Structure formats: structure tokens, C-alpha cells
Amino acid sequence: MASNPMNSDFKNYRDIFEADHFEGQEHTSAVPVIGSQSETWKSWMIRGTEANRFYNQFVSSVLAGPFNRTAMLRALQDLVNMHQALRMTFNAEGENMVCGELISDINYQDLSSQSPAEQQLFMKRHQKLTVLKPFDLEKGPLFKVSLFKLNNGEQYMTFVAHPIICDERYIAIMMKDLVNLYSDYAPNGMVPNAPMQ
């Protein structure tokens, strides 16, 4: 994957986002953009959404165990409420990152009727298409979670996000948080069966 030009600024804006991390605080707020974020906004305005798809961050993992959609949606909403970065978008002028309420969703598909080879081909295509699909920086959300049912009780989960809200390290942390939150709602549910990639 191409190097993310925003990595040098990542810690700074992550710290700003996570300053409003605690439960009970107001979820609607705004923070000034930093230099690399401003450049991303200008690029988006000049070249359109296609300009901002090339550094999207992608993490995936194979999980073992039954899938409970209701529990996963609750866990994903908890994750969004926990990590302010997932609720961030640009305002219309591109001067601030706006943190608002967000109702989360997950893309779920059952691939269990396909052969292992067909599943692998589907997942490779999914990764390519998902990583290259541009995000709308003003409307959001700037992330997407997908989960695919495989054979032998396994699930394949992917988490992709725009680099303006996280880098590869942070997205891996959020995906682990999602699995842990899910286990709270479904104690006998999925657990990691392979390292995150």
C-alpha cells in the first residue's frame, strides 16, 4: 500500500479527536484542520472525490464463531461513539473538521455457498474496490465496515477508512475495539482466528 503522506501529522490530529473521547460529553463539535488535512480538502475541491481515494487505509481479519448482526450493529455504534475520529467530516468551507452524530451500519454478505476459491476471489476484488472507492469528505462517513460469512463458521471482516481520520495503526486499534465490544453483546460470538492484515 502506498505510503500515507499524512502520517507525520497523525498523532497531532488523533490527540485532538480523542480529547472528546469520554462518555457523556457532547458529540457535536469542531476542530481546526491541520496542514495536511487542509491540503486534502483543497485537492478534493479541485480534483473531486477521485483525488482522495488512493491512500485509504484498509485492515482485515478472519474471525471464528457465529455472527449476530444485532450485536455487531450495537458494537459498531459503540465504537463510533467511543472514537470521535469516526464521526468527523469537513464543514462546507473546509476550515474545520466537524464531529456530529452518526448512525453506523455494516455491509454483510453470506458467501458460504461459494467454494473457497470463489470466496478468495471475491474478497480480493472487494478489497481492491473498497480501498479505491472515494469517500465524501463533507457528507461522510469516512469509514466502512464489511463482514462476509465464509465456510466452517468463519467470518471475514474488513475495515477501511480515509487517511484524514486515521492511519494503519489506529485503524487496527479500532478494529480490535470493535471485536471486543461485539464480544460484550455476544459472549459466544466471533473471535480473531487470524492476524489482522
Joined together, the cell numbers standing for residue 167 give 492511519
Q: Beta strand pairing status for 96-99 and 191-192?
A: unpaired
Residues 13 and 84: their CA atoms lie apart, in Å, by 11
pLDDT for position 13 = 39
Q: Give CA separation, 189 vs 7, 25, 78, 93, 193, in Å.
A: 34, 30, 17, 44, 12
* Average confidence score pLDDT of the chain: 77
What pairs with residue 37 in β-bridges? Answer: none
Joined together, the cell numbers standing for residue 71 give 450485536
Torsion from C-alpha of 18, 171, 144, 131, nearest 10 degrees:
130
Q: Where are the domains of the chain?
A: 7-192
pLDDT digits (tens, 9 = 90+) for 124-139: 999 888 888 888 888 8
pLDDT digits (tens, 9 = 90+) for 172-183: 888 889 888 988
pLDDT beyond 50 at 87: yes
Sheet with strand 191-192: strands edge to edge: 107-110, 143-149, 154-161, 57-64, 191-192
Of 119-123, 142-146, 170-174, the range with the lowest mean pLDDT is 170-174
Higher pLDDT, residue 95 or 196: 95
CATH 3.30.559.10 is the classification of domain 7-192: yes
Confidence of residue 59 (pLDDT cuts 50, 70, 90): confident
